[in-house]
Copies of this chain bind each other. A is one copy, B any other.
Amino acid sequence: MVDGMHKGHGRSNAKVGAGHVVETQQFDRETIEKLFKLADSLEGVREESLKGKIMAALFYEPSTRTRLSFESAMLHLGGSVITMENGSESSSATKGETLEDSTRVVNHYADVIVMRHPEAGASARAAAVSKVPVINAGDGAGQHPTQSLLDLYTIRRELGRTDDIRIAFVGDLKYGRAARSLGYLLAKFKNIHMTFVSSEALKMGDDIKTYLKKHKVTYDETEKFEDAMHKCDVMYQTRIQKERFASQEEYQKFKGVYIINRKLADSMKKGAIIIHPLPRVGEITPEVDDSPHAVYFKQVGYGLLIRMALLKTILGGRKMK
């Protein structure tokens, strides 16, 4: 299965060796389905299958949620964790060590590296020199493949399928990594229609649209939020990221445009779901939380299962010495 992860679709990278999880495109459908079945089987499980194995969480920018999720996943499987929480201020980085050298060093300390980095391509650079698998836990404007996998897994768990999906993406589609990455991943499935709901200034980029056309995914663009809510199977709400805007004024302008309130949630089709990569800061109002459509907190639990499944797949094959 580890091999199956690296058949290299999309802009996959020849330098990426066995076991690395660098970008969403590297997964083929068969591998994804195996991974999801494994995730299903790990629900509620605490085991010792990774006893003696060590995961290094190397976070060059803070991301508490993602870090705790990976660490918890490793501990659920009986493994151990070493952590660098804010690597950009770490002694090695401050002293001027390259990412490649840091990776070569940590290779001696851990069996797998989970890496978060503010620069796109950082994980691929690390993977290119690493002797142990590198899992990309978000690299700036680049990718966050385990987020896409858990988004898709949430859809599969809640809708019971990964084909025949009408999905709407809302919010910051220009800068938001999560929506873009899931777009790439869904393109591997059948009969997918995407609706992009955004302000003109935050529209989905042309690169992904070209990719979708090539992979026979249909899409439309609209500013009509209500209409998209009625029609979709999946509403992917995202946070307008304050840190992406030059001024507080500009941020405020876009922040309030697309908010899901209870009335809008209630207008959704039966069985339709609202997902969100979290944290939310107002783009879904609290009274939506107990709507049957709201699955964004269950999504966190699905994310734990996906990360457990990935760690188990990557590390389980190697025997404890």
Partner of A68 from B56, B61, B69 at Cβ < 8 Å? B56
**Binary B-proximity of A148-183 (CB < 8 A = 1, otherwise 0):** 000000000000000000000000000000000000
A65 within 8 A of B: yes
| A97→B65 CA distance, assembly (Å) | 11
Closest B residue to A78 by CB, please name it: B52
Whether A281 pairs with B97 at a CB distance below 8 angstroms is: yes
> How many of A's residues come within 8 Å of B, CB to CB?
55
Contact partners of A81 in chain B: CB under 8 A: 82
CB of B62 within 8 A of CB of A108, answer: no
Beta-carbon contacts of A47-84 to B below 8 Å, as 1s and 0s?
00000101010000111110011011001101011111
Bound together, the chains give a CA A106 to CA B282 distance in angstroms of: 19
Cα of A97 to Cα of B281 in the assembled complex, Å: 6
Query: Quick check: B64 and A304 within 8 Å, CB to CB?
Result: no
- Smallest CB–CB gap between A40 and chain B, Å? 15
Whether a CB of chain B sits under 8 angstroms from the CB of A231 is no
Contact of A297 among B62, B92, B105, B241 (CB under 8 A): B105
* A14 in contact (CB, < 8 A): no
Q: Which of B45, B75, B89, B279 contacts A96 (CB 8 A)?
A: B279
A321/B108 in contact, CB under 8 A: no
From A44, A87, A278, A303, residue with most partner B Cβ within 10 Å: A278
> Taking the complex as formed, is A46 at the interface, i.e. its CB lies under 8 A from any CB of chain B?
yes
**What per-residue 1/0 map shows which CB atoms of A281-319 lie under 8 Å from chain B?**
110000000000000010011011000000000000000
A46 in contact with B52 given A96-B279, A109-B72, A109-B304 (CB within 8 Å): yes
Q: Is A223 an interface residue (CB 8 A)?
A: no
Residue pair A104, B64 in contact (C-beta under 8 Å): no
* A192-221 interface bits toward B, Cβ cutoff 8 Å, 1 = contact, 0 = none: 000000000000000000000000000000
A110 within 8 A of B: yes
A280 neighbours in B (Cβ, 8 Å): 97, 101
A301 to B107, CA, bound (A): 9
Q: Contacts A75-B54, A90-B64 given: A300-B95 contact, CB under 8 Å?
A: no
- Decide if A109 touches B69 in the complex (CB within 8 Å): yes
A82 touches B91 (CB 8 A): no
Q: Does A28 lie at the interface of the complex (its beta carbon under 8 Å from any beta carbon of B)?
A: no
Extra inter-chain contacts (7) besides given A69-B109, A108-B297, CB under 8 Å: A46-B320, A64-B84, A65-B91, A65-B92, A72-B82, A96-B282, A105-B297
* A and B contact pairs by CB, cutoff 8 A, 10 listed: A46-B320, A62-B91, A72-B108, A72-B109, A95-B242, A96-B242, A96-B279, A97-B279, A97-B280, A101-B278
Closest 9 CB pairs of A and B: A97-B279, A72-B109, A96-B281, A46-B52, A64-B90, A108-B301, A75-B80, A62-B91, A108-B300
